[in-house]
Amino acid sequence: MEGLGGDAASPMASLAKWKTEFSRAFQFYLDKSTPLLVHRWIGTLAVAAIYVLRVYYLAGFYVISYGLGIYILNLLIGFLSPKVDPELEALDGASLPTKESDEFRPFIRRLPEFKFWYAITKAFIVAFLMTFFSLFDVPVFWPILLCYWIVLFALTMKRQIMHMIKYKYVPFSFGKQKYGGRKTPAAGGSPNHRG
């Protein structure tokens, strides 16, 4: 009897071991891709293009595309929003600095760029895989979904931009002044230099 239990556990143990090894390798390559911002986004654009071409040639799966668009809009709002909402801080008595003498507080996103990229990439991959199952190909009149999504996008972005203007924050770092690190004095020479 124990022989049967050992045999049944062996495939499960090897499956668990394979899953652990795959997870480690995946996390390793995910960590290696973290500083490669442009390469990551180019890869995501390629995945998105493959998805769009598949939906275009199949002429279907519009509900999946609509759901994907809503999900990406939700991620975009998180990416553009500060981690701590200034409206809630204003109720607590704390607020964003309004004068130069106030304390500097950098913009910290609610959804960091890497998590934003990772979630969008996963969403496109899942949506692409869903196009292989006819169960998800619900017949709809796609122009109505597109118009509704455009209106939803415009209203949501208007609200977000008004929030940015009201609380005077910019969620992007390009165009902002950059400060260099401390420079080492040139007169002292290097520690390995002997005179």
* Rounded-to-integer distance, Cα 76 and Cα 149, Å: 14
Asked whether the predicted pLDDT for residue 18 surpasses 90, the reply is no
Asked whether the predicted pLDDT for residue 49 surpasses 60, the reply is yes
Q: What is the pLDDT of residue 63?
A: 93
Closest to 168 in 3D by CA, of 96, 102, 92: 96
Cα–Cα–Cα angle for 45, 48, 53, nearest 5°?
125
The torsion of the CA quartet 160, 164, 165, 167, rounded to 10 degrees, works out to 130
Assess contact for 82 and 110: CB atoms under 8 A. Answer: yes
Asked whether the predicted pLDDT for residue 16 surpasses 70, the reply is yes
Higher pLDDT, 96 or 149: 149
Higher pLDDT, 82 or 193: 82
* Rounded-to-integer distance, Cα 120 and Cα 117, Å: 5
Asked whether the predicted pLDDT for residue 82 surpasses 60, the reply is yes
Q: What is the pLDDT of residue 154?
A: 95
Instruction: Identify the residue whose tokens are 């390798």.
Output: 25
* Rounded-to-integer distance, Cα 19 and Cα 47, Å: 24
Q: What is the pLDDT of residue 108?
A: 74
Higher pLDDT, 150 or 108: 150
Q: Is 86 helix (H, G, I), strand (E, B) or coil?
A: helix
Q: What percent of the chain has pLDDT above 70?
A: 71
Asked whether the predicted pLDDT for residue 184 surpasses 60, the reply is no
Average pLDDT over residues 185-193: 52
Amino acid type, 163: H
* Rounded-to-integer distance, Cα 168 and Cα 176, Å: 14
Q: What is the pLDDT of residue 195?
A: 45
Higher pLDDT, 24 or 169: 24
Domain ranges of the chain: 37-87+108-171
Q: What is the pLDDT of residue 180?
A: 61
Higher pLDDT, 181 or 43: 43
